[in-house]
């Protein structure tokens, strides 16, 4: 299965009449990064994909669902791993706030 996120980004960027450079600038990215996402050389991190979705006025789910082959299980696993890391970091910060070093 392949993820067609890049094709969707390109299609809706073009429909919005926005260049790669303009989309990149609005996201704090280079046009080369947008090109890499659109060509499928690189998958955007979920946070970046969410920002792209907002800029292109599409729901995030639009980019993550595809009847033409999508590896949602891989994305879900990645999200779960990120959530675990963030939870550990939050717990560490909570502990530091409760017991600051003297």
Between CA 54 and CA 88 the distance in angstroms is: 29
- Helix (H/G/I), strand (E/B), else coil: 16: coil
Q: Length of the chain, please?
A: 102
Low-confidence ranges of the chain (pLDDT < 50): 1, 68-70
How is the chain split into domains, by residue range?
A: 1-70, 71-102
Phi first, then psi: what are they for 69, rounded to 5°?
85, 105
Contact 31, 19 (CB under 8 A): yes
Structure confidence at residue 69 (pLDDT): 44
Count CA atoms within 13 Å of residue 88 on its CB side: 5
Report yes or no on whether pTM surpasses 0.85. no
Write out the CATH class of domain 1-70.
mainly alpha
Q: Which residue has the tokens 């550990």?
A: 88
């Amino acid at each position: 299965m392949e993820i067609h996120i890049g094709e969707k980004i390109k299609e809706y960027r073009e429909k919005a009449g926005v260049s790669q450079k303009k989309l990149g600038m609005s996201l704090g990215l280079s046009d080369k990064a947008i090109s890499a996402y659109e060509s499928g050389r690189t998958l955007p991190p979920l946070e970046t994909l969410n920002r792209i979705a907002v800029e292109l006025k599409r729901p995030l789910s639009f980019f993550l669902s595809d009847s033409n082959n999508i590896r949602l299980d891989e994305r879900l696993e990645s999200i779960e791993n990120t959530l675990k890391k963030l939870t550990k970091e939050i717990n560490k910060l909570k502990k530091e706030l409760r017991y600051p070093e003297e």
